[in-house]
Amino acid sequence: MRILTGIQPSGQIHLGNYFGAIDNILRMQAQGHEVFLFLADFHALTTVRDPAALREGTMNAALDFLACGVDPEKTVFWRQSDVPEVQELAWLLSVVTPMGLLERCHSYKDKLAHGKEATHGLFAYPVLMAADILLYQSDLVPVGKDQKQHLEVTRDLAIKFNNAYGEIFKLPDAYIPESVAIVPGTDGQKMSKSYGNVIPLFDTAKRIRQSIMGIVTDSTPMDQPKDPETCNVYKIYKLLATPEQAGEMAAKLRAGGYGYGDAKKALLAAYHEKFDACAARREELAANPAKVEEILARGAARAREIAAPTLAAAIKAVGLR
């Protein structure tokens, strides 16, 4: 199965990003799927207007994914803008895209409601996303609730193009992971940069400690029993710990005599056990940006090999060249 997913380079990643996306990518890679993963810098232009920030964010995202375990020998990993074929296909798809289809996309409406500027790029975002998916004849696309409609648009456009010009594109299906963790933030809400409640994946030891020790808890005294299922510290801890370790903490919380401070210290230790090796890999890669560029270039070359026959067939079908 060919599984394609794209990630926008949107700043410092956090624990919610890891369990919401990265962990799933690593699982698919380990299962032997043909994983295609790209850094969506074209898409990022809808919100990022600072060229230096875009370049830095894209490099940081590459470092983050490689440090966490994305293996370029098993996963095709590249920068979206290094495959210009995607823009040519986006135009071919745009000529069969009904305006009404894009006008109904709730993501566009939601972004406008949150103060985003109404640009063509933002409006036509689903067409470029469709090109990303169809160019590589993807079988499956991991989607969350906020992106499911865009995959439906992709399928609609593939059907319209195929009906008009012949069977060029494979219809992709949604890949719904067996379980995607909803990671609570330090305030108990869903972890999100927009809420300012994140635990960073790669930062100084001091800032990571401050984030974890700052997790909001109730005022139950140390000697009193506590419900682990309502404890934000425990909810995060069980994502990092083994089932046995999580069970031990749950038992201690229920028994009393075990404070939230103790739980936070256990969480901090589990956090370092999980990510210290990743942080070391990231530092090593950051010291050799040429190596990272080489990895992305090799991924782009492989992606272009796969994209070329699809684009050629589409171009021939519509009567160009």
Q: Which of 111, 226, 235, 238 is catalytic?
A: 111
Q: What confidence score (pLDDT) does residue 119 get?
A: 92
Q: Which of 160, 193, 265, 274 is catalytic?
A: 193
Q: Predicted confidence band at 143 (pLDDT cuts at 50, 70, 90)?
A: confident
Q: What confidence score (pLDDT) does residue 167 get?
A: 97
- Whether the per-residue pLDDT at 172 is higher than 80: the answer is yes
Bigger pLDDT: 175 or 68? 68
Domains in the chain with CATH codes? 2-181+289-318 (3.40.50.620), 203-283 (1.10.240.10)
Q: What confidence score (pLDDT) does residue 102 get?
A: 92
- Report the pLDDT averaged over residues 212-239: 96
Which helix (H) or strand (E) covers residue 160, if one does? helix 148-165
Q: What confidence score (pLDDT) does residue 148 get?
A: 78
Are 54 and 45 in contact, with CB atoms under 8 Å apart? yes
User: Is 193 tagged catalytic?
Assistant: yes
- Whether the per-residue pLDDT at 179 is higher than 70: the answer is no
Residue with tokens 């689903």: 126
Are 155 and 129 in contact, with CB atoms under 8 Å apart? no
Q: At what angle do helices 232-240 and 243-255 cross, to 10 degrees?
A: 160
User: Is 206 tagged catalytic?
Assistant: no
Q: Predicted confidence band at 114 (pLDDT cuts at 50, 70, 90)?
A: confident
Q: Which of 74, 170, 190, 265 is catalytic?
A: 190
Q: Predicted confidence band at 309 (pLDDT cuts at 50, 70, 90)?
A: very high
- Whether the per-residue pLDDT at 128 is higher than 70: the answer is yes
